[in-house]
């Protein structure tokens, strides 16, 4: 059953070329749906297995650890795998209808194949236990993401993708340099082996430089302020499906990489005691939360508003990491999951709006809630969740973050967390007010109807998930907190 | 002093190329030149990897009787993968430039900026 660790990655990787070979739009979509559901099933069983029996190690080609490449699935891995696959499982069915108006039929097979490749890359980054393998999968997912983001109808999607390609490649190359430098110093690429050998050489300048390169490279990928400049444009002009999938998964996987490298590979004692990682991450996270939320308030394109809100939410995750405490990490890891379902729900509601009226500009939303009640109800609940109202998923992760801040008696951080939520109230309220309480400029314009069911059902699955995980937190909190304990205990 | 210049010759080349590439990426406004800069930047990393594979007095890693010291072939293999990634990135980047040229009729960043101000 250990094979599941590799099957997880192989499923989308091998079915991506199938989409191109058959070259039929409908068939490609069906392959994507089936694969994403199968992957979800695999990752659920991995989570159960890891919970019961501890980490799973799969040796590629039967070569044992330091020589061969291994896939290492522990509780954190399984949890992030679950995030990626569950988002994919909801987005793929949604994609069938949504791409109709955004991607020409002739390009749809290639589109789905790129979507599957992106998913394979993300799953690969998460499951592998080999540092160089991380880079390879990172580039697989990045290249697929560039291709996907550039498919927007607006020509600005091309220029913003180009910008991301330049920044993303610099980030990827920084990660490559970082991995090279630690290989130079230790002679191994296996993560567990690296963790064993690094403490002995940790005072060397090479290792410090390597960690700096890795951190900066990963932070470029996860769009931590001030390295977030590629994100708003890239999200705004991409097709709805791509925005949903990329916003919900790829930054989360980058956060996972940061956790993996700083906690498992380099180790808590080394990174946080000898190097000032907290001192670097904490201010950036705080500024990110404030600047992202403030910038979100100013946007007139709602898709762009949510993109800036993503920058702020990434700040929350990094904040959780910079606490280096059990409750802080639990909050951060929890927010990976919760933000994924929140942002996917919000972008899906927006995708449904774009499908019906072809615009996501705030003026176009006037009075739309009457015509599309289900879509906007979904948006409103997603909005409550991103604000962090009790009984929604967003509340749970923010609660843990506030607890962690109180534990450390960092009162400014507590204040920032609350201000961040208040700012979220403002930008979500702008949309709610326009959609619910204003009337359209000319009623007779076009008869806008509610979005089709193929879009509404995935949206509402996520909306209900937002409420469910706000009330019943056993699955998410237990996984997140045992992942946090594992990370903190790994090297102490 | 002389040791640091001659002995670490390859690493100086790496740093020189890395900074040159990085500068070209940031400073040039022509999109194709940006891609070229990115290529130079990545090439410097290839040289870094190849350099670290060298073992003093080691020979080419081919099993031969009477030879005990070999250069480390692993970084070479790793960097082959990274070269492929670099080629793929360049291809995607240039394809994007072609599309941008079709959409804006220019590949100069400031002229694109004039046409669409939200960049």
pLDDT tens-place string over residues A465-480: 999 998 888 888 888 8
Per-chain mean pLDDT for chain A: 89
Best of A124, A165, A235, A237 to mutate (most B CBs within 10 Å, chain B): A165
- Average pLDDT score over residue span A396-415: 90
Instruction: Report pLDDT for A491.
Output: 45
**φ and ψ of A145, to 5 deg:** -65, -40
Please give the Cα distance from A193 to A390 (Å, whole number). 43
Token digits of residue B97: 């430039």
B-chain CB neighbours of A162 within 8 Å are: 31, 93, 96-97, 100
Residues 6+ apart with CB under 8 A from A17: A113
For the segment A29-63, what is each residue's pLDDT rounded down to a tens digit? 999 999 999 999 999 999 998 888 888 888 888 88
Quote the CA–CA distance of B51 and B78 in Å, as a whole number. 13
Minimum-distance CB partner of A132 among B78, B88, B112: B78
Q: What is the pLDDT of residues A70-117, one digit of tens each?
A: 898 989 999 999 999 999 999 999 998 888 888 888 889 999 999 999
Nearest to B89 among A143, A156, A163 (CB): A143
CA distance A255 to A258: 5
* ipTM value: 0.93
A-chain CB neighbours of B48 within 8 Å are: 177, 180
Taking CB atoms and an 8 Å cutoff, what residues of chain B touch A300?
Answer: none
User: Does the pLDDT at position A282 exceed 50?
Assistant: yes
Cα–Cα distance for residue pair B11/A394, rounded to 1 Å: 48
A298 located within any domain: yes
Cis peptide upstream of residue A226 (ω within 30 degrees of 0): yes
Give Cβ neighbours of residue A370 (< 8 Å, ≥ 6 apart).
Answer: none
**What would the mean pLDDT of B9-23 be, rounded to a whole number?**
92
The stretch A360-382 carries a mean pLDDT of 88
Structural domain includes residue A127: no
* CATH code assigned at B98: 1.10.287.3510
Are B116 and A159 within 8 A, CB to CB?
A: yes
What residues of chain B lie within 8 A of the CB of A155, using their CB? 100, 103-104, 116
- Residue A490 binned pLDDT confidence (cut-offs 50, 70, 90): low
Work out the angle between the directed axes of helices A326-357 and A240-259 (0-180°, nearest 10).
170
Does A203 reside within a domain? no
Nearest to A139 among B31, B38, B85 (CB): B85
Residue B52 C-alpha, separation from nearest chain A C-alpha, in angstroms = 6
Tell me the mean pLDDT in the region A249-275. 89
Mutation to test the A interface, candidates B85, B103, B110, most A Cβ within 10 Å: B85
Domain hosting A435: range is: 276-492
Report the sign of the C-alpha dihedral through residues A423, A428, A431, A437, in that order.
negative
Residue A214 falls inside a structural domain: no
A173·B31 Cβ contact <8 A: no
| Residues with Cβ within 8 Å of residue A87, at least 6 apart in sequence | A244, A245, A248, A249, A340, A341, A344
The 8-class DSSP code of residue A227 comes to S
Distance between CA atoms of residues A277 and A269, nearest Å: 11
Cα separation, A205 vs A465, in Å, equals 47
How many domains does chain B divide into? 1
A188 near B CB under 8 A: no
For residue A443, pLDDT beyond 70: no
Confirm whether A405 is domain-assigned.
yes
Mention every residue, 6+ apart, whose C-beta is less than 8 A from residue A481.
A326, A330
Interface of B with A (CB under 8 A): 22, 25, 31, 34, 38, 41-42, 45, 48-49, 52, 75, 78, 81-82, 85, 88-89, 92-93, 96-97, 99-100, 103-104, 112, 116, 118-119
**Chosen from B99, B104, B106, B114 to mutate, greatest number of chain A CBs within 10 A:** B99
In the structure, what pLDDT confidence band is assigned to residue A276 with cuts at 50, 70 and 90? confident
Structural domain span for residue B79: 2-115
Number of domains in chain A: 1
Spell out the long-range contacts of A271-280 with Cβ–Cβ below 8 A and sequence spacing 24 or more. Answer: A271/A211, A272/A324, A274/A202, A274/A203, A275/A208, A275/A211, A277/A215, A277/A322, A278/A322, A278/A323, A278/A324, A280/A215
Distance CA A114, CA A233 (A): 20
Residue A177 within any structural domain of the chain: no
Asked whether residue A460 is assigned to any structural domain, the reply reads: yes
- Percent of chain B surpassing pLDDT 70: 97
Helices and strands, number each (H, E), in chain B: 5, 0
Calculate how close chain A gets to B61, using CA atoms only, in Å.
Answer: 16
A66 reaches B (C-beta below 8 A): no
Averaged pLDDT score across all residues of chain B: 88
Query: Average of pLDDT values for A482-486?
Result: 88
**Cβ–Cβ gap A233/B119 under 8 Å:** yes
pLDDT of residue A492: 41
For residues B95-118, give the mean pLDDT. Answer: 86
* Beta carbons of A169 and B52 less than 8 Å apart: no
Q: How far apart are the first and last CA of chain A?
A: 31
Average pLDDT over every residue of A247-263 = 92
CB contact under 8 A, B38 and A169: yes
More confident residue, B67 or B31: B31
A135-194 pLDDT, tens digit per residue, is: 999 999 999 999 999 998 888 899 999 999 999 999 999 999 999 999 988 988 988 888
Are the beta carbons of A176 and B75 separated by less than 8 Å? no
Q: Quick check: B88 pLDDT over 90? A: yes
When pLDDT is averaged across residues B68-96 and rounded to a whole number, the result is: 91
What's the pLDDT score for residue A445?
A: 57
> What would the mean pLDDT of A411-420 be, rounded to a whole number?
91
């Amino acid at each position: 059953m250990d094979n599941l660790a590799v099957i997880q990655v192989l499923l989308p990787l091998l079915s991506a070329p199938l989409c191109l070979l058959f070259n039929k739009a409908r068939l490609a979509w069906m392959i994507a749906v089936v694969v994403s559901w199968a992957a979800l099933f695999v990752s659920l069983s991995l989570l159960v297995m890891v919970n019961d029996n501890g980490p799973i190690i799969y040796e590629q080609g039967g070569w044992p650890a330091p020589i061969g490449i291994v896939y290492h699935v522990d509780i954190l891995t399984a949890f992030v795998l679950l995030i990626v696959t569950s988002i994919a499982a909801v987005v793929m069915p949604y994609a069938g209808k949504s791409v109709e108006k955004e991607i020409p039929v002739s390009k749809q097979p290639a589109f789905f194949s790129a979507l599957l490749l992106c998913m394979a890359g993300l799953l690969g980054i998460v499951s592998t236990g080999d540092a160089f393998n991380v880079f390879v999968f990172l580039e697989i997912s990045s290249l697929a993401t560039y291709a996907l983001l550039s498919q927007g109808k607006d020509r600005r999607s091309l220029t913003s993708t180009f910008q991301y390609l330049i920044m993303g490649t610099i980030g990827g190359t920084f990660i490559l340099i970082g991995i090279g430098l630690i290989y130079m110093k230790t002679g191994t690429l296996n993560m567990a082996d690296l963790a064993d050998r690094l403490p002995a050489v940790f005072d060397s300048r090479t290792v410090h430089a390597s960690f700096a390169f890795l951190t900066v490279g990963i932070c470029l990928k996860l769009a931590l302020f001030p390295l977030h400049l590629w994100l708003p444009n890239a999200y705004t002009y991409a097709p709805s499906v791509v925005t949903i999938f990329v916003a919900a998964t790829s930054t989360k996987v980058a956060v996972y990489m940061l956790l993996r490298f700083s906690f498992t590979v380099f180790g808590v004692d080394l990174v946080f005691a000898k190097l000032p990682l907290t001192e670097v991450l904490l201010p950036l996270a705080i500024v990110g939360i404030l600047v992202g939320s403030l910038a979100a308030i100013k946007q007139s394109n709602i898709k762009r508003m949510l993109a800036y809100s993503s920058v702020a939410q990434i700040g929350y995750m990094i904040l959780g990491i910079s606490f280096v405490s059990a409750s802080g990490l639990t909050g951060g890891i929890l927010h990976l999951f919760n933000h994924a379902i929140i942002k996917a729900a919000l972008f899906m509601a927006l995708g449904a709006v774009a499908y019906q009226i072809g615009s996501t500009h705030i003026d176009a939303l006037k009075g739309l809630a009457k015509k599309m009640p289900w879509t906007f109800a979904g948006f409103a609940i997603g909005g409550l969740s991103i604000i962090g109202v009790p009984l929604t998923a967003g509340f749970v992760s923010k609660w843990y973050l506030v607890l962690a801040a109180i534990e450390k008696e960092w009162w400014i951080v507590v204040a920032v967390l609350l201000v961040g939520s208040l700012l979220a109230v403002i930008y979500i309220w702008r949309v709610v007010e326009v959609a619910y309480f204003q009337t359209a400029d000319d009623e007779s314009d076009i008869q806008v109807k509610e979005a089709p069911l193929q879009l509404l059902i995935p949206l509402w699955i996520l909306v209900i998930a937002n409420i469910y995980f706000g009330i019943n937190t056993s699955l998410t909190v237990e996984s997140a907190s045992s992942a946090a304990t594992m990370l903190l205990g790994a090297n102490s | 002093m002389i040791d640091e210049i001659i002995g670490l010759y390859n690493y100086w080349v790496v740093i020189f190329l890395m900074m040159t590439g990085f500068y070209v990426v940031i400073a040039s406004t022509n999109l194709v030149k940006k891609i070229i800069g990115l290529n130079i930047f990545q090439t410097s990393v290839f040289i870094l990897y190849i350099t670290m594979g060298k073992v003093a007095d080691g020979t080419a890693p081919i099993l031969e009787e009477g030879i005990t010291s070999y250069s480390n072939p692993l970084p070479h293999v790793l960097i082959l993968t990274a070269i492929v990634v670099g080629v793929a990135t360049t291809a995607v980047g240039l394809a994007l430039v072609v599309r941008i040229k079709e959409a804006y009729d220019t590949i100069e960043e400031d002229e694109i900026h004039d046409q669409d101000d939200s960049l």
